[in-house]
Structures are given as structure tokens and as C-alpha cells.
Chain A
Amino acid sequence: ETGVTQTPRHLVMGMTNKKSLKCEQHLGHNAMYWYKQSAKKPLELMFVYNFKEQTENNSVPSRFSPECPNSSHLFLHLHTLQPEDSALYLCASSPGTGNTGELFFGEGSRLTVL
């Protein structure tokens, strides 16, 4: 079993739909992250949770709503998205939010908004 798993791997939704992305980590880490990756652009940090408390919201529109029920699970709830939100959404985890070493990524959820 991989350390960080994401579901679904692919998602197509209309602008009026509500959907959720799920992330689970099996590494015993305390910090979890949502990143957005658009073509030819650097990864954009969206949200950071440490010990299931949100420590950063990087000016993300409210149509993206994170939820972190415990240190192992992270959700990204999606509502009334725009076509420009189409991207690869990557979940990651790390031991902590300090200088604790590498990020471990899930395989990503590729989102297409029609």
C-alpha cells in the first residue's frame, strides 16, 4: 500500500456539481497539504494542516473547502468550480510543518471542470 493515497484519480464535473477529493496517509505524519498543479506552472500550495488544525489557507477561493477530521485524512470539497480550476490536485504529507524533511505525495486527482 502506498504511503499517501488519493481518490478519485480522475474526476469530471460540471460547474454546478458538488464533489469531494479524499486523501489518506499511512506514514504517521502530522502535517498534510493540498497543492494545485496546472500545466507548466509551479505547484501552488492551497492548504496546510498540522495535527488536524489548519495552519495555512493560501488565499484559496471559497469554492474549495478543506476538511481534516484527523491527522491521517484530508478532504477537499468542491462546489461551483470554474473551468480554470481544472488541474492536478496533489495531496502530500510530512512529519511536521517545520524543516522536517521531504514531502510525500499522493498520485493526484486530475480534475476537469466542464
Chain B
Amino acid sequence: RKEVEQDPGPFNVPEGATVAFNCTYSNSASQSFFWYRQDCRKEPKLLMSVYSSGNEDGRFTAQLNRASQYISLLIRDSKLSDSATYLCVVWGTTDSWGKFQFGAGTQVVVTP
């Protein structure tokens, strides 16, 4: 089983619509959770951290469900510029070492 699993997509979203997708993680000792955004042929950049109580940053809302071990990202009022791959990143400890684990990414394509 992969440490962090994501639906690869692509999610084709009309401009102005809402899109949501999840990420599941296997390590119950995971402590920190992030969504990164990666544009084509560019480096990943932090979109937002995910907090236990859920958090919102403009049109983006992230949720954490520790019991079911998943996090989610919802994008409202999608813009063409939201087209990207969204990486789920989890920090947790295994064998006494802490490390970041990455999902393979969910591709979002916003269409006019």
C-alpha cells in the first residue's frame, strides 16, 4: 500500500465551478499535513497547511479527518489559473525518523 494515495485525475472543471478531491495516508503517526501546488514543469510550492479544525484560504478549503486518515481540498469558483497538479504531503514518523511523504498528485484542468 502506498504511504500517501491520491486520485491522479484529471479533474476537468468548468471555470467558476467547484472541485474537491481527497488524499488518504497510511501512517497513523502522521502529524502535519499540507497541500502543495505544482505547475507543469515547475517546482512544488506550498498552497496551504491543513489544520485539525479545517482551514480556509480564499477560495481554497482544506479538511483533515484523522479517524479515517484522509485530507481534502476544495476549490470554489475555479479560475483558469487553478489548473495544476495538487500534491498531498504528510509529515510523520516511522522507525524513529520523521519524513515528508508525497502523493503522486491530482491533476486539475479548469476549462473556459
A69-104: contact bitstring with B at CB < 8 Å (1 yes, 0 no)?
000000000000000000010100000011101110
* Residues of chain B contacted by A56 (CB below 8 angstroms): 97, 99
B4 near A42: Cβ-Cβ < 8 Å: yes
B side interface size, CB within 8 A: 25
Query: How far is A99 from B90 in the complex, measured between Cα atoms in Å?
Result: 10
B100 near A106: Cβ-Cβ < 8 Å: no
* Residues of chain B contacted by A88 (CB below 8 angstroms): 41
B34 near A102: Cβ-Cβ < 8 Å: yes
* Residues of chain A contacted by B87 (CB below 8 angstroms): 43
A side interface size, CB within 8 A: 20
B102 near A102: Cβ-Cβ < 8 Å: no
Q: Report A36 CB to chain B, min CB distance, Å.
A: 11
Query: How far is A55 from B101 in the complex, measured between Cα atoms in Å?
Result: 16
B97 near A42: Cβ-Cβ < 8 Å: no
* Residues of chain A contacted by B8 (CB below 8 angstroms): 40
Residues from 35 to 52 in A contacting B, C-beta threshold 8 Å: 40-43, 45, 48
Using CB atoms and an 8 Å cutoff, list the residues of chain B in contact with chain A: 2, 4, 8, 31-32, 34, 41-46, 49, 87, 89, 91, 97-105
Q: Known pairs A42-B2, A56-B99, A105-B43; list 11 more (Cβ under 8 Å).
A: A40-B104, A42-B103, A43-B87, A45-B99, A56-B97, A90-B43, A99-B32, A102-B49, A103-B46, A105-B44, A106-B43
Considering the complex of A and B, which 7 residue pairs feature the smallest CB-CB distances, nearest first?
A: A105-B43, A43-B102, A42-B102, A42-B104, A102-B46, A107-B43, A108-B43
